[in-house]
Structure 1
Amino acid sequence: MYKTATIVIKNTNPLFAVIDDYAFLCKNLKNSALYVYRQFFFKENKTLNKYKLIKEFTQDKQADYVAIPRKVSQQIIFQVAQEFQSFWGLVKLGVKDKSKPRPNIPRYLDKQKGRANIIFTKQAISKKDLPKGVLTLSPFDKTRPISIHLGKLNQIIDYNNIQEVKIVKVANGYDVKICYKTQDTKTDTSVNPTRVLSIDFGVNNLMTVGNNVNLTPLIIKGQAQKSFNQYFNKKLAKLKSRLDTAKDFLKPSIRKKLDRLYQKRKHKVNDFLHKASHYLINHAVENHIDTIVIGYNKGWKQEIEIGKVNNQKFVNIPFATLLNMITYKAKEKGIQVIITNENHTSKCSFLDDEPIQKQSTYKGKRIKRGLFKSSNGRL
């Protein structure tokens, strides 16, 4: 299993200026690669694979290419080739299905403000520094190294399991994403579940957890997230209102504030969901649970009509992200996860042993949320 750990480098960090300069150089190379690819296609009416694209740069020792460590520059060119490969794939889909929107050809990054992702393969990472808890990446300039202290991550990341490091520009800094491999615990899915947790996702109660082993039902509240969402929505409304009426020279600074607000919400949501899923898996391990059953539908409870008052407390909760977190954390502990479709569950009558599927007529009736009436009138 592959996992990603993220270290945030804010614009107040001394490393920010170094990384920002390197991302600028990577932008130059990416734009050059985009130009070479596009011109070759327009002239020859042919595409370039990643190896031919690299050859275009190595033959002439192109300035942007040699300004960057070779292992990093190769990854940037591979990335450009991958973007065009995806583009041509979407073009082919559009030819077959005219209803598909026309894809946009990969675009150049802004000459001044643009920054490209920096990708370091395993070979571009210092092996001798990792045991000391320091992630040292191949420098573009030896006088300006990138050395990042791992902190607690040092306990789980070593040179043998690390795969790559990607540095990505975000609103008020850079995210250093460390991709590493973990040891899987095998789950025997052929064994019938004996100790089971069932989970229902919600808004007020993020997770309502039942079981078949006479444990006290568990409810993980969603109030903390709702409270932050209320703050987020009010700040968002104010900034958007200011943006609509601001003079042109003020708009860039307001947009930066909007970006920082979205970034803050992203970190808050991820932190909340990680803690909630971690608590759930610990609960499962402590009670020797072998199976977790989750009711989930794509897009479910993300597009509900919530009204004016609730809208201040609620922004779509990424249940798909929560589901993925629970799944991989359970897998690490040897717990199998079964995902069951919840279509028609609110209409089919459990009290009448009605199969959970679409029916021409339903035996019972849902009176309101939390109240169901069976065919014989039982509530």
Structure 2
Amino acid sequence: ITGIDLGEKHLAAAATEDDSFLLNGGELRALRKYQNQTKAKLQRKISRKERGSKRWKRLVRTKNKQLNHLDNKITDLLHKLSRKLIEMLLERGVSTVVIGELKGIRDSVDYGSRMNQRLHQWAHAKFAQMVEYKAKGAGMIVKYVNEEYTSQTCPKCQHRHKPSGRTYDCPECG
């Protein structure tokens, strides 16, 4: 059994009973940043042209073409990373994959404009779906677990206590 924690910086953190590893999301973040910069640059140019003019139409076509190309690159990268994750799990003999469910993580959250943009472009559901169908294709069982309070709950006695710092010490069972 392995648990997978999806993230924005590290696309997946996987932990088995005796091993753990990270799947770096740096390349994906770089593509998203480039996509945002390209979109902003072209949108600024478009906004300065008269709507419906020849130049405006050409810029809109260019913008759509470039953004579609970048979307395809992002999807391709997600496929490659999900395949790499499944291959690493197969090497370790994993038969059950438990993925943290992140439904509603973006609801009513305000971390500032840049962090909000990154959070809302985070492709966690798409990546989880890719991991799920590839894992099932490899004969693995896939389960989703609600992640609420998992970092505050003791794995031994199930007592909930908010930790201070990076170390969790349960006041109930020690």
TM-score with structure 2 length normalisation?
A: 0.82
Equivalences for residues 13-24 of structure 1 within 5 A? none
CA distance in 2, matches of 1:243, 1:207: 37
Q: In the alignment, which residue of structure 2 is the partner of 1:266?
A: 71
Alignment RMSD: 2.8
- Asked if the contact 1:327–1:337 (Cα under 8 Å) also holds between the matched residues in 2, the reply is yes
Give the match for residue 154 of structure 2. Answer: 350
SS of 1:271's partner is: helix
Report the CA distance between 1:199 and its aligned residue. Answer: 0.2
Partner of 2:95: 290
Letter in 1 for 2:8: V
2:130 aligns to what?
Answer: 325
Please state if 1:205 is matched with 2:35. Answer: no
Distance 1:230 1:281, change over 3 A: same
Structure exhibiting the larger radius of gyration computed from Cα positions? 1
- 1:180-214: CA deviation from partner (whole Å, max 9, x where unpaired): xxxxxxxxxxxxxxxx11100001100000001x1
Asked whether the 8 Å contact 2:31–2:74 carries over to 1, the reply is no
Q: What residue in structure 2 maps to residue 32 of structure 1?
A: none
Q: Secondary structure at the match of 1:277?
A: helix
Equivalent position of 2:47 in the other structure = 244
Aligned to 2:37: 234
SS in 2 for 1:365: coil
Q: Secondary structure of the equivalent of 1:203?
A: coil
In structure 1, distance between residues paired with 2:106 and 2:168 = 20
- Equivalence for 2:60: 255
Give the distance between the partners of 2:142 and 2:93, measured in 1 at CA. 14
- Give SS of 2:98's match: strand
- Alignment check: 8 A CA contact 2:11 2:23 kept: yes
1:116-171 Cα shifts (integer Å, max 9, x gaps) = xxxxxxxxxxxxxxxxxxxxxxxxxxxxxxxxxxxxxxxxxxxxxxxxxxxxxxxx
Answering whether residue 16 of structure 2 is matched by residue 219 of structure 1, we say no
TM-score under structure 1 normalisation?
0.40
Greater RCO, CA 8 A, separation 6+:
2
| TM-superposed deviation, 1:276 | 0.9
Q: Does 1:300 align with 2:105?
A: yes
Q: Report the number of matched residues.
A: 171
Q: Give the distance between the partners of 1:337 and 1:256, measured in 2 at CA.
A: 41
The one-letter code matched in structure 2 to 1:271 is: D
Taking a change above 3 Å as real, the CA distance of residues 351 and 335 of structure 1, as seen in their structure-2 partners, is: closer
Show the counterpart of 2:161: 364
Amino acid at match of 2:154: F
CA offset digits 1:247-272 (Å, max 9, x no partner): 23122122112212321221121111
Task: Give distance in 2, aligned partners of 1:311 and 1:366.
Answer: 26
1:1-379 residue pairs with structure 2 within 5 A?
A: 196-212=1-17, 214-215=18-19, 217-248=20-51, 249=53, 250-300=55-105, 305-308=110-113, 310=115, 316-346=121-151, 348-350=152-154, 353-354=157-158, 363-367=160-164, 370=166, 374-375=170-171
Return closer, same or farther for 1:303/1:252 CA change in 2, 3 Å cut-off: farther
Secondary structure of the 2:39 match is helix
In the alignment, the residues of structure 2 paired with residue 251 and residue 229 of structure 1 have an alpha-carbon distance, to the nearest angstrom, of: 25
Q: Deviations over 1:80-132 (max 9, x none)?
A: xxxxxxxxxxxxxxxxxxxxxxxxxxxxxxxxxxxxxxxxxxxxxxxxxxxxx
Amino acid at match of 1:247: E
Unpaired runs of at least 5, structure 1 = 1-195, 356-362
Q: Which amino acid aligns with 1:281?
A: I
Q: 246-255 vs 327-336, which deviates more?
A: 246-255
The residue type paired with residue 238 of structure 1 is: K
CA 1:246–1:375 in 2, change beyond 3 Å: closer, same or farther?
farther
Q: What is residue 128 of structure 1 aligned with on the other side?
A: none
CA distance in 2 between partners of 1:199 and 1:261 (Å):
33
> Kindly, what percent of the aligned residue pairs are identical?
24
